[in-house]
Amino acid sequence: MPADLTDLTHLTPEAGSMAEVKTVKTVKSGEEEPPQGPEPPGASDPETLLAFLHREGPSTYGAAASSLGWGATRAWQAEARPRAAGTVRYDGLGKAHPVAKGGPA
């Protein structure tokens, strides 16, 4: 056993131990950039969420949060405001739907 357990240079594809040798420089840390949803400049969170629902269709706040690169708290708070105003309604599966002005709530 090698003295340095992080040194994988002794494992080569020719030895049959590994199909590909990766160095520390080629392994990602696991931290990736969150997905960035298109946010209109200067738009409030409820406006951004409504634009997302119009563009992508019915969605849960968790799916919206993931798509917009938000946390869950930010997404449900953004969803609560239009729901209270009657511009968002939930279906039987818990997905938010945008409601047209003058439409059913």
Over residues 2-41, the pLDDT tens digits come to 455 566 566 555 555 555 555 555 445 555 555 555 555 5
Angle between helices 72-85 and 61-68 (to 10 degrees): 120
Is 67 in contact with 56 (CB distance < 8 Å)? yes
Tokens linked to 49: 């969420």
pLDDT (tens digit per residue) in 26-79: 445 555 555 555 555 567 899 999 999 999 999 999 999 999 999 999 999 999
Q: How many CB atoms sit inside 10 A of residue 93's CB?
A: 7
